[in-house]
Amino acid sequence: MSARVPVIAVDGPGGTGKGTVCAAISSRLGWHLLDSGALYRALGLVATQRGLPLDDGASVAHLASGIRVSFSRGERAADPVRTTVNGADVTEEIRSEECGSAASRVAAHPAVRAGLLVEQRAFRRKPGLVADGRDMGTVVFPDADLKIYLTATAEVRAERRHKQLKQKGIDVSLRRLFEDMSERDRRDQARSVSPMQPAQDAMVIDTSRQDAAKVLETVWDLVCRCFPRQADQHN
Ligand code: C5P
């Protein structure tokens, strides 16, 4: 019988520092990384490019079964994970707010989520997996060894995202961003399948008053407690 592969599930809304934490933890441990949001973003992008109505669950699910999304790590730990769809690099394109919003619309369909379940679970490979998303601890990996739910006030999250976009030279009004993110949160929380919510056994961390380094330190402490042997090799 093959040994069980450990999973760390990190869930929560955008702008909480989830992505940064997951990339850092997976690289420190030398574990695989699943950015499940990138899967939904890639699907939202292709559906939009092909002019599919995003509210048509059957068509979007059919599209999902026919495209191949893959991830590859850069040579250096600080390099971003590259995302390709059917071989085309969409790493930067899927990070736009429009893609985030399209992702949340396609992600609301039960058939789409069911189709992506097997794909996401296939990321669970030795020596371990850090999974970033909205339903990692509740639905995709309910037996995860460590479940973390990062949260922060909507105002703080919008300000963080605003700053990130500004650094990339993208000019969006803070108010518009706040409204878009709030609408996305509402949709993610209200959908009938896999709504965004902390798993009952998740550690909930409010990052509103913590900078990125502090959030990482807090999460790394939890990882060390849960996986003392693996973390010891990297401290
Ligand atoms: O995390 P990120 O902002 O990249 O996710 C984009 C959107 O994809 C989310 O707003 C959410 O609607 C959807 N998503 C999801 N389930 C996940 C990850 C992302 O529904 N596990």
Question: Does ligand 1 have an atom closer than 6 angstroms to the CB of 123?
Answer: no
Judge whether 6 and 116 are in contact, CB under 8 Å: no
55: in domain: yes
198: in domain: yes
148: in domain: yes
Question: Does ligand 1 have an atom closer than 6 angstroms to the CB of 37?
Answer: yes
Can you tell me which atom of ligand 1 is nearest the CA of 105?
A: 12
Give the SS3 label for residue 151: strand
Looking at per-residue confidence, does 118 or 3 come out higher?
A: 118
151: in domain: yes
What's the gap in Å between 75 CA and the centre of ligand 1?
26
The answer on pLDDT for 2 being more than 70 is: no
Q: What is the mean pLDDT of residues 107-116?
A: 96
Probe residue for ligand 1, chosen from 20, 21, 22, 40 as the CB with the greatest number of ligand atoms within 8 Å:
40
Q: Which residue's CA is the closest to the ligand 1 atom numbered 14?
A: 37
233: in domain: no
Would you state the pLDDT for residue 76?
Answer: 73
What's the gap in Å between 29 CA and the centre of ligand 1?
24
The answer on pLDDT for 135 being more than 70 is: yes
Q: Which domain holds residue 188?
A: 7-227
Count of domains for the chain: 1
Would you state the pLDDT for residue 235?
Answer: 67
What's the gap in Å between 232 CA and the centre of ligand 1?
32
Residue 40: CB partners within 8 Å, gap ≥ 6? 103, 104, 106, 107, 116
2: in domain: no
CB-CB neighbours of 95 under 10 Å:
19
What's the gap in Å between 72 CA and the centre of ligand 1?
19
pLDDT tens string 211-232? 999 999 999 999 999 998 887 7
CB-CB neighbours of 5 under 10 Å:
16
Q: What is the mean pLDDT of residues 147-176?
A: 92
Label residue 19 left, alpha or beta by phi (over 0 means left) and psi (-120 to 50 means alpha).
Answer: alpha
Q: Which residue's CA is the closest to the ligand 1 atom numbered 13?
A: 104
pLDDT tens string 57-87? 999 999 999 999 999 887 776 777 899 999 9
Would you state the pLDDT for residue 167?
Answer: 87
Tokens 């949340």, located at residue: 104
DSSP state of 64: H
Instruction: Place 132 in a pLDDT band, splitting at 50, 70 and 90.
Output: very high
Strand-pairing partners, residue 9, are 131, 147
Would you state the pLDDT for residue 164?
Answer: 87
147: in domain: yes
For 11, phi then psi, to 5°, come to: -120, 170
Can you tell me which atom of ligand 1 is nearest the CA of 136?
A: 21
What's the gap in Å between 220 CA and the centre of ligand 1?
23
CATH of residue 212: 3.40.50.300
Q: What is the mean pLDDT of residues 185-198?
A: 92
Would you state the pLDDT for residue 77?
Answer: 67
Q: Average pLDDT of the chain?
A: 93
235: in domain: no
